Structure 1
Amino acid sequence: MGQNILKLIKPADIITLVNALLGFFSIIMTLRGEIEIALVFILLAVIADGADGAVARFSGNGVLGANLDSLSDCISFGVAPAVVSYAALSNLGNFALVFPAFFMVCGILRLARFNVSGKKDGFEGIPITAGGFIVALFLMVKDIVPYFEYIFTALLVILSLLMISTISYPKIKNPLTLAPLVIVLVFNIAAFYLGLTDLVKKGSLLLFILIMIYVLSPIGVKLYDRNK
């Protein structure tokens, strides 16, 4: 006999559902033409995605946890970034569908592989959260990027391939390591709501650099090992 679904939900699962709602809100804002707000919702989803893991470590994981997490991540960091990317590339016409769709499909494949691999000590390919995060940050600074459409489409392809790659990435759990990223992220969201546009662009650029350091870290590790 089945169990009452409400009895299966743990505190961390509630935050995971908030993550999904933020992704949904991002899609709605994109459809309304509120692109910057849509991007902020993706940034908020990044915070929620990190928070549910932290809460789960203290309160325990429920039987729904892993599946809820993947489903929410698919919405917030797969579908939502793809939809807002399509809007940003609207000048390309129907061709603008190709790259966001490829990103979304690779993100779904990345999540499915993670669910069946059982690997818990790290990631194979960049996490979809990182991919969606990078897309949102890049779009927040697109005004200062020359040849935006060409560079952004190349970025989407690179991120898509990295998500389905076999490159190993570490799972960062140390709060002290994550603290600078979280502080700048919260500051950036606050600056947006205060209307401090210049600070938002500077904060987004800094966050983009920090997350790209993580994305490129396997290259640095290989070079270090080769020169030892």
Structure 2
Amino acid sequence: MRTKISPSLMCMNLMEIKQQLAVLNTRADFLHVDIMDGHYVKNITLSPFFIEQIRPFTPVAIDVHLMVEEPTDFIDAVAKAGADYICPHAETINRDAFRVINQIRSLKKKVGVVLNPATPVSFIHHYIHLLDKITVMTVDPGYAGQPFIPEMVRKIAELKALKQQHGYHYLIEIDGSCNEKTYATLLEAGAEVLIVGTSGLFNLDNDLTRAWDSMAQKIADAQDRLRASA
């Protein structure tokens, strides 16, 4: 499977949003939108209104990461705004996971779930077969620029093994420190979607086209190294 790329829009230059979206529209597989409520994590970032504003300007699937205490307070709003994937944290839906999954499905949206670094795969065992995407946080949620947590490599490999063993259809996505230092490790473990932010994409060059080309080359180099060592 070709590695899919999901730029984190909270890391883009919002003063150049239309120009940057034009670049991403021809390259990205997803657009990653973080919504934080100031409670589940301390920060407050993007919103359903932001999704509504960019939706007319992009055909790319919008992937919404709900870093919020009460996902059901946001699901209808982000769906109406134009989200394609809706992904709450596993810890926030533990009491009513099946109801939340059914709510997202009823809105004709794809269902994802996000696992914090300390949350085991076993936490989602009873509904893993219903998921379209599982996001592995390789940093603690809420802040950009944190160091990669190497223990997450085993979690990615576990998800890959379960997917192969049972024929599950979820995508394995990585959120946190996706850059040239980690590409080879993540891809070897089983990563299929890389969320790229400041270190992986936006800080590589002031020109986003050149930044994307630089990122793509770094990923290709990592893939070449893996093939050479196989």
TM-score (norm 2): 0.27
Considering only CA atoms, is the larger Rg found in Structure 1 or Structure 2?
A: 1
Q: Which one has a larger percent helix, Structure 1 or Structure 2?
A: 1
Q: Which one has a larger percent strand, Structure 1 or Structure 2?
A: 2
TM-score (norm 1): 0.27
